């Protein structure tokens, strides 16, 4: 959904989404003043930004190393500082480090699968990971989810966390994924696909994913983070 701009859209054929999406319009309550949360540095520990390693300087997960970087901005292009960003994703074989993932894909003993970071004074953030694999969506015939990373964002002035997904450019399942293509506005849909940047000298792939809060350029946010 787009906060305060559009009605919730049901993704047809996605049963979980159909069951959990409210049938009535959402009424956004405007707070009378800026509210928290205000996050301290103690909430993010060293190494939390690295999804491909369970402990600092430990063994690395298998897969193509990537860096995900970006900037969180408001509708006027001003940086949003100290926003708490949490991400989670599947491993290189499309397996989540979660008991609810009952697929037969293998687990990676060195893959943490989640990360947390605070944006800096310019609204910037960085995560290190490996490129996730595609996977079949359980209970649905012929639905392969393209590689993607889940994002959760919480910042001052927000009354609830925002959920979105980042996709990778050039993936074959992007054009047929019901969740990505459930975003009807082409500009908004394109904003969910990260930009490929020049690789690091050692070959690590770099992706840029900016997040905009409010306004005509707002990033699409979803009711469900799944």
Whether 195 contacts 136, CB under 8 Å: no
Q: Is 135 a catalytic residue?
A: yes
Q: Which residues, 6+ apart, have CB-to-CB distance to 104 below 8 Å?
A: none
Q: How far apart are CA 216 and CA 212, in angstroms?
A: 9
Q: Is 27 a catalytic residue?
A: no
Catalytic residue among 17, 128, 150, 207: 150
Strands (E), the chain: 65-74, 84-89, 114-118, 124-130, 135-136, 144-145, 148-154, 162-167, 195-197, 205-208, 211-213
Catalytic residue among 17, 92, 148, 207: 148
92 phi, psi to nearest 5 deg: -65, -20
Catalytic residue among 96, 125, 167, 207: 96
Exposure on the CB side of residue 25, measured as CA atoms within 13 A: 7
Residue 31, both tokens: 């707070």
Q: Is 150 a catalytic residue?
A: yes
Q: Is 148 a catalytic residue?
A: yes
Q: Is 98 a catalytic residue?
A: no
Catalytic residue among 116, 125, 145, 207: 145
Catalytic residue among 14, 135, 167, 207: 135
What positions carry a catalytic annotation?
A: 96, 135, 145, 148, 150
């Amino acid at each position: 959904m787009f906060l305060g701009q559009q009605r919730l859209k049901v993704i047809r054929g996605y049963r979980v989404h159909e069951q959990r999406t409210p049938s009535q319009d959402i009424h956004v309550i405007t707070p009378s003043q800026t509210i928290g949360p205000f996050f301290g540095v103690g909430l993010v520990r060293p190494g939390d930004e690295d999804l491909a390693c369970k402990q600092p300087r430990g063994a690395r997960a298998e897969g193509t190393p990537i860096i995900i970087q970006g900037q969180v901005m408001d509708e006027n292009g001003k940086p949003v500082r100290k926003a708490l960003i949490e991400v989670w994703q599947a491993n290189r074989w499309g397996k989540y480090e979660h008991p609810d993932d009952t697929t037969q894909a293998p687990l990676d003993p060195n893959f943490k699968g989640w990360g947390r970071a605070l944006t800096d004074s310019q609204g910037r953030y960085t995560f290190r990971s490996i490129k996730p694999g595609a996977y079949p969506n359980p209970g649905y015939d012929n639905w392969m989810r393209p590689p993607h990373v889940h994002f959760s964002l919480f910042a001052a002035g927000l009354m609830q966390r925002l959920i979105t997904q980042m996709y990778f450019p050039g993936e074959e399942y992007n054009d047929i994924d019901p969740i990505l293509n459930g975003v009807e506005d082409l500009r908004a849909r394109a904003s969910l696909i990260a930009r490929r940047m020049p690789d690091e000298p050692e070959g690590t792939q770099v992706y840029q994913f900016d997040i905009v809060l409010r306004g005509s350029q707002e990033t699409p946010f979803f009711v469900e983070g799944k």
